[in-house]
Amino acid sequence: MRRVATLFSALALATLGWTAGTAAHAAPAPSPSADGAGTSVSTEEQRAAVRFWTTDRLRAAQDVTALPAARTAKLATAPPTTGERVSVPPLPGPAAATSAPSTRATSPTAWTGGGLISTTAGKVFFQNASGGTFACSATVANSDNRSVVLTAGHCVVDAATGTGYRNWVFIPGYTGGNRPYGTFSARSLFWEPQYVSTRGNANWDYAFAVMNTLNGRTLAETVGAQGIAFNSQTGRHVHSFGYGGSAAEGNGERLNHCEGNEFPDAGRPGSTMWGIDCVQTGGSSGGGFLADFSGGGGYLIGNISVSAGANEYHPTLGNEALDLYRRAGAA
């Protein structure tokens, strides 16, 4: 049975001493950005991160879950929901852009449709300040530098301290411990400053990581990229993808899928999140919510952040997210 860390634990990962597999040594802390919105990672640290993630450490990493409802009972002032509508189209990858007809799920099911999502979705692995190792999900987003993934804020930074996580890698197309396209290490992490200033308000629980090249090719050149949309229409039929850690979801070793018509999060005052009647478990945090999904590709409109009963929710990607995305795409 895989260990699971709640998001509440993720906000205090620095206090955890659990280390998976063989003894894990903490890497040097990444360099913080001037405005507290991210970190940069040296070339030496990037190389060390790839070496660090052995097969044993991958499989022993704790799955980080979405924030339980009890931890989001009081949210701070909601972010603005209007602004410039921006949509960046998908970028084709090596997989055929076709998929089998999907089943409208109310519980996670294994994704067997192939297509672009099978190469652009992947697992994230990172280490906290005290050496604990953890797993989340992420999705490649089309960007100027062809190197950006969207994930959850709680998968890149300790909101209690503002400290970015280390040994941060993304494995696209991860399946059963296999790395079909290699292991990409992060060269920069970007999170929303208000996620830290509010000490983990889920309205701001999104982040972007900029990945290093591998074998001279960018991440999107290697696997393709999903589109991404900001200030987009809400209340549509959407799909979510992640690597849930429960036995029913394959113990974090396969990509899972949910879909449904999204509805606003009415259960918590101040929430601007939207969700669907389906919930994935630990390890799915950061996985993509996509609209206009067809043939394995679509437009990212958020990431898995909060679970409440049988529902899962994503923060909206508004003006602040657009600014953060542009910064990541220029890094």
**Three-class SS state of 211:** strand
4-8, 100-104, 156-160, 243-247, range with the lowest pLDDT: 4-8
pLDDT value for 98 = 53
pTM: 0.86
Given a cut of 60, is residue 196 above it in pLDDT?
yes
Nearest to 169 by CA among 304, 54, 28, 49: 49
- DSSP-assigned states of every residue in 42-111: -HHHHHHHHHH--HHHHHHSEEEPPBPGGGGSS--SPPP--S--EEE--B--SS-S--PPPP--SS-EE-
Residue with tokens 């030496």: 44
pLDDT-based confidence at residue 154 (cuts at 50, 70, 90)? very high
Residue 11 has pLDDT above 80, yes or no: no
Beta pairing class for 227-230 and 297-303:
parallel
CA 248-254-256 angle, to 5 degrees, is 65
pLDDT at 31 over 70: no
Which residues in 91-116 are b (16+ Cβ under 10 Å) and which e? bebebebebeeeeebeebbebebbbb
3-state secondary structure (DSSP) of residue 15: helix
Q: What is the pLDDT of residues 200-245, one digit of tens each?
A: 999 999 999 999 999 999 999 999 999 999 999 999 999 999 999 9
97: its two tokens? 């852009």
Domains of the chain: 38-75+83-330 (2.40.10.10)
Q: What percent of the chain has pLDDT over 70?
A: 80
